[in-house]
Structure 1
Amino acid sequence: MERVILRDLVSRILTFSPQLIKAVNFAAELDCFISLASIARQNNYVRPILTEECILDIQNGRHVLQEMTVDTFVPNDTRILQNGRIQVIGGPNYSGKSIYIKQVALVVFLSHIGSFVPADAATVGLTDRIFCAMGSKLTTPEQSTFMIDLHQVGMMLRQATSRSLCLLDEFGKGTLTEDGIGLLAGTINYFANSNQPPKVLVCTHLTEIFTEKCLLESENINFYTMSVLKPDENTENIEDIVFLYRLIPGHALLSYGLHCAILAGVPMEIIERAALILDAVSANKLVTRLCNMQMLAKDQQYKDMLNKLLAFDAHKGDLNLFFQSMFSSEEQ
C-alpha cells in the first residue's frame, strides 16, 4: 500500500516538473543576486560602467578574496587605453604582481556578470574572452607544466582579439633561461606588432628582456614594477627592505629573493650562505668553501694523517702498528 501511495505521489509531482525546475532556477538565480548584493554592500563595491570602447580604467582596484585575508590591502590603479595596451610588470618575489593581474581579471569578469566591483570606480570595455597562462596546477600524464603553459599561450596568440584580456604570469620560467627569454619576448613583440592588440598583463622575473633589449620600442608596451622601500640605497641588511605593494612605472632588476626567504622562515644559516654566494657571483669571484668548526677539525685531522703517511718508512716500520694508529686517531 505504501509503495502504491509513493508511486502515485511521484507521478503526481512529475506532472509539475517544468514548473518546479523553473522555480529552482529562479531560487538559485535569486540566491546569486542576493549574495552579490550582500558582498558588494559589505565591502564597498561600486557599479562599473560598461562601454563598447576597448579600454580598461580601474581606480583603486582590489582583489575580492585577498583583501579579506589581510589586515591592510593596498589598492592599485589600472589604465589601459588605445596606447600602452601591454603592461610588462617586473618586481621582487612576494611583492604582489600576481595578485594585481588577477584582481584586474576579476574586476573585468564581475563587471560582465552584472556584479558591482571592488574599486573606487571602474570603466570596463566589453570583453569577449579572458586568457590565462599562469602556471597551471593540472596534472596530466602526457603534458608537463611548461607544455600546458605553451598550449595556453598558443591559444591566446591564435584567438585573442582587441576585446580580449590576456594574463601571463612567469611564462618562460619552466625551461632554460635563454629559451624562456626568447619565448616571452617573442610573445610580447607579437602582440605589440598587432594592428589591434588585446589588453595584455605580463608578470616576469626574466630581467634580461629589459637589459638585453629583447623587446621592440613600441607605444603599445608600458613597463611597471612593484614599489620597494629601502631605508638606504646602500643598505646591506635585507631585513630592512619593505614591500609597498604599489604598482609604479619603471623597471625592476632585483628579485630580493633572500628577503622573501626570510619572510618564508628559511633558516638564517642558509640565507647567510646564499648571500655570500650571491656576492661572489655578482663580483665575478670564486665561491669560497663553507667551513665550520667541525669541518676545520676534520681538515686538520686529515693533514696530520697525511704528514704521518709521508714520514712513515715502509722498509723499517711496522705497517700493522701504523694503520692501527692511523684509524684509532680517525675514530677519536
Structure 2
Amino acid sequence: EKGYETLVKENLCDELDELRMVYEGLPDFLEQVSANENASFPFSLECRKAPLIVYVHQIGYLMCFFDEKISEALLIGLQDFEFAFSEDGEERRFYYHTQKTRELDNLLGDIYHKILDMERAIIRDLVCRVLQFLPQLTKAVNFAAELDCILSLAIVARQNNYVRPILTEDSILEIRNGRHALQEMTVDTFVPNDTKIRSAGRINIITGPNYSGKSIYIKQVALVVFLAHIGSFVPADSAVVGLTDRIFCAMGSKSMTTEQSTFMIDLHQVGTMLRHATSRSLCLLDEFGKGTLTEDGIGLLGGTISHFANYDYPPKGPFVNTSDGDLHRKLLTTV
C-alpha cells in the first residue's frame, strides 16, 4: 500500500516515477539494511525483537529498539548512536540516530514529502496551463450547463406529459387541468384543477377541509407560472400565462436559520408583497393570519385583501387559502 493518494498518473514524469518506485520498495530495503547493521554490532543484543531501521515522515530514518532502552554501558560500544525519542504503546520503542540512518537521510531524504512536493508542482503547472484558456473553458462550461438544463426540462416534460404554454402581455392566467410538478410524482392519484384569471385584481379565496389540497393548488399555480417563464413546458393540458415580473409568496414556511417566528416571517413576506407588487405580479397567501389570535388574524387578512381590491392596478390573483369556513364567509361579506 502506497500510503498516499496518487495525484499524477504514471509515465508522466520519470523522476517522480523513480521516487515512487523507491518509496514502494523502502520497507524491504530498510529490512535488508537493518539485518546488515545488526550483524555488524560489536556485541549480541538479547532482545525479543531485532532492532529495525524505520522511516518516519518529516523526521527521517531512525534505528528502532524494542522493549528496553540501550544502557549507557552498551552505548559506549555503539559509535555515533544518539537517542532521539521514545514511544509508548503495546510495545515500547526507542529511536536512535546512527551513522547509517544519517547516510540514509543524505541519500534518500524525506522521500514521501519529495513525492508530494513534486506532484503539487506538476498540478500547479497544470493549473497555470489550464488558466490560459479560462475564457474558452468558461464559455464551454456555461454552454454545457445551459444545455443540461434544457435537456433536463425536455426529458421531464416528455415523461410527464407537459404542454407548451402560451406567454402573453395581457393580464391573463388560464390553466386547464393544471398539476403540481412534484406532488403528482409522490401520490398514486392526483386530481388536476383549472385556474382562470381574465382581469387583473380578481381575488381568489380558496377554502375547504384539511388535507383537501388547497396549499398544493396555490403552489401549483406558482410553479406553472415559474416554469413558463424559464422556457419550460408546464404540467397542464393547456396554459396561457401573462408576463409576470415577480411571484410573491406568504406560505408560512419556517426557516431554521432565523430567530423569527413563523408569524413574523409571514408579516415580513406580506409586507414586501404589499409594498412591491405590481399589476404583473402574482401574489399567493397560504393561511395568512393563522399564527395569531383569531380576531387579529381575520383583521390582518381582511385588511390585506381589501388593500389589494382597492388597487388601481392590482396584481394577478391574489390567491388566498383559508381552511376556516366562517372566515371565508366573513371575508366575502366585508371585501
Query: Aligned equivalents of 1:70 and 1:63: distance in 2?
Result: 11
Which residue does the alignment assign to 2:169?
A: 52
Which residue does the alignment assign to 2:320?
A: 202
Supply the AA of the counterpart residue of 2:322.
T
Query: Aligned equivalents of 1:17 and 1:149: distance in 2?
Result: 44
Supply the AA of the counterpart residue of 2:141.
V
Contact 2:254 2:261 in 1 (8 A): no
Supply the AA of the counterpart residue of 2:243.
L
Out of 37, 51, 54, the position equivalent to 2:154 is 37
Q: What are the superposed Cα offsets for residues 172-211 of structure 1, whole Å, 9 maximum, x if unpaired?
A: 1100000001101111111111112112100002333344
Supply the AA of the counterpart residue of 1:153.
V
Which residue does the alignment assign to 2:39?
A: none
Which residue does the alignment assign to 1:16?
A: 133
Query: Normalising by structure 1, what TM-score?
Result: 0.62
Higher RCO (CA < 8 A, seq sep 6+): 1
Contact 1:170 1:204 in 2 (8 A): yes
Number of residues of Structure 1 aligned to a counterpart in Structure 2: 217
Query: Aligned equivalents of 1:79 and 1:213: distance in 2?
Result: 21
Seen in structure 2, the aligned counterparts of structure 1 residues 111 and 73 have a Cα distance that, compared at 3 Å, is same
Contact 2:302 2:331 in 1 (8 A): no
Query: Aligned equivalents of 2:331 and 2:249: distance in 1?
Result: 26
Which residue does the alignment assign to 1:182?
A: 299
Query: Aligned equivalents of 2:273 and 2:197: distance in 1?
Result: 19
Contact 1:57 1:79 in 2 (8 A): yes
Out of 274, 284, 290, the position equivalent to 1:167 is 284
Q: 1:1-332 to 2 correspondence within 5 Å?
A: 2-3=118-119, 4-82=121-199, 85-139=202-256, 142-199=259-316, 200-212=318-330, 215-216=333-334
Query: Aligned equivalents of 2:161 and 2:261: distance in 1?
Result: 41
Which residue does the alignment assign to 1:276?
A: none
Contact 2:279 2:315 in 1 (8 A): yes
Q: What are the superposed Cα offsets for residues 131-175 of structure 1, whole Å, 9 maximum, x if unpaired?
A: 000112213554211011001001101110111011100111100
Cα displacement (A) at 1:213:
5.4
Seen in structure 2, the aligned counterparts of structure 1 residues 174 and 213 have a Cα distance that, compared at 3 Å, is closer
Contact 1:137 1:145 in 2 (8 A): yes
In structure 2, the residue corresponding to 1:70 is in which secondary structure?
Answer: coil
Cα displacement (A) at 1:214:
6.5
Query: Aligned equivalents of 1:101 and 1:212: distance in 2?
Result: 21
Cα displacement (A) at 1:83:
6.0
Query: Aligned equivalents of 2:323 and 2:172: distance in 1?
Result: 27
Seen in structure 2, the aligned counterparts of structure 1 residues 68 and 197 have a Cα distance that, compared at 3 Å, is same
Query: Aligned equivalents of 1:83 and 1:52: distance in 2?
Result: 12
For structure 1, the residue ranges without an aligned partner over 5 or more in a row are 218-332
* Greater mean deviation of Cα atoms: 86-95 or 2-11: 2-11
Query: Aligned equivalents of 1:213 and 1:26: distance in 2?
Result: 51
Contact 2:322 2:328 in 1 (8 A): no
Cα displacement (A) at 1:43:
0.8
For structure 2, the residue ranges without an aligned partner over 5 or more in a row are 1-14, 16-117
In structure 2, the residue corresponding to 1:167 is in which secondary structure?
Answer: strand
Contact 1:61 1:78 in 2 (8 A): yes
Query: Aligned equivalents of 2:217 and 2:148: distance in 1?
Result: 29
In structure 1, the residue corresponding to 2:256 is in which secondary structure?
Answer: coil
Seen in structure 2, the aligned counterparts of structure 1 residues 209 and 7 have a Cα distance that, compared at 3 Å, is closer
